[in-house]
Amino acid sequence: MPRPSQTRFLGIDPGLRFMGWGVIELVGTRLTHVANGVVTSSDRLSLAERLVQLEAGLVEVIEAYAPHSAAVENAFVARDAAAALKLGQARAVALLVPSRAGLPVAEYAPNHVKKAVVGAGHAGKGQIQMMVEMLLPGCHALNEHAADALAIAICHAHAGAGEARVAQALMREAAGR
C-alpha cells in the first residue's frame, strides 16, 4: 500500500490475448517501478469467457497494488474491422475495471505516449522498452506489452504531476488575493 505522500499510477496496454499492465509511483518528482505484468486470455475460449479472464486479472492487479489512478492507451488498428472490434472490447474491459474500482481513468494516444517517454511519436517497441527501463531504474519489463503499459503509466504520471502543479499554483494565487 502506498504512503500518503506517494501517488501510484496504473498503466494498461489493452489487448485481447495479452493485456499489459504496469504500476509506478511518483514521490515528489521521482518515478519508481512497483510492478508489471500481463493478463492473458486463452484463445480456446469464447470471446465472452476471454473478456471475463481479462476482467478478473485486472481486478487482481488493482487489489494487489492499490493505484490512485489509471491510464489506458487509445486503440489504433489498421489491420481489419474484426481485429478493431475485438481490441475495442478488450479496451472496454481496460476502461471498466479501474473505473468500477473508483479510479479516475485517462486515455492517451499511442503517439503521445511514445513522445512522452522516448521523445519521438513513432518510436519502436524496443526503444520504448529501453527508455522505460532507463526511466525506472531496476525495472525489467516482462515483455513489450508490460513495457508499453509502464510507458502509459509514465506518460500519465507526467500529465498528472503537471496538472497537480497547476492546481497548486492556482490555489496559491487565489489565497494571495
Quickly list DSSP for the chain: ---TT-EEEEEEE--SSEEEEEEEEEETTEEEEEEEEEEE--TTS-HHHHHHHHHHHHHHHHHHH--SEEEEEPP---S-HHHHHHHHHHHHHHHHHHHHTT--EEEE-HHHHHHHHTS-TT--HHHHHHHHHHHSTT---SSHHHHHHHHHHHHHHHHHHHHHHHHHHHHHHHHT-
Residues tagged active-site: 13, 73, 145
pTM: 0.87
Regarding the domain delimited by 7-122+137-175, which CATH topology (the fold level of the hierarchy) does it fall under? Answer: Nucleotidyltransferase; domain 5 (3.30.420)
**What is the residue-averaged pLDDT of the chain?**
88
Tens of pLDDT, residue by residue over 60-104, are 999 999 999 999 999 766 678 888 888 899 999 999 999 999 999
Q: What is the pLDDT of residues 45-54, one digit of tens each?
A: 999 999 999 9
